Amino acid sequence: MTANCPEVPSLIPSKEEEVQQARSYLRERFIRALLAMNGLVTGRTANFRMYENTNVSAVFGSCDREFVNIYVKSLDTPLGSIPDALLRTNDIECISINEIDPSA
């Protein structure tokens, strides 16, 4: 004979809850990164490693809110220099910026 006990909610999060928490955490980190990029790195020289193993450098301007494009100045490419340009983030493998002071 089994007792008719009310169902006790599980204290262990389900897989969907874990995924939702992870996505929430990543969204927050992404938004913080965008805010930092538009404030801390504006005007600094950045090196971009693009797909097809191309390296370019430029002065970081800003990025759009969807983080689809990055506006740069003085883009130095293997084929020459471009005064103003938009880089598509889908074409970028890595961005490196030296000497960022987060306390500034």
**What digits encode the pLDDT tens for the residues 22-37?**
888 888 777 766 666 6
Kindly state the tokens that stand for 70: 């990055």
Tens-place pLDDT, residues 64-73: 777 788 899 9
Local confidence band at 95 (pLDDT 50, 70, 90 cut-offs): confident
pLDDT at 8 over 80: no
DSSP label at residue 11: S
Span 13-29, mean pLDDT? 82
DSSP letters, 2-48, are ---PPPPPPSSPPHHHHHHHHHHHHHHHHHHHHHHHHHHSTTSEEEE
Domains of the chain (ranges plus CATH)? Answer: 15-97 (2.30.30.100)
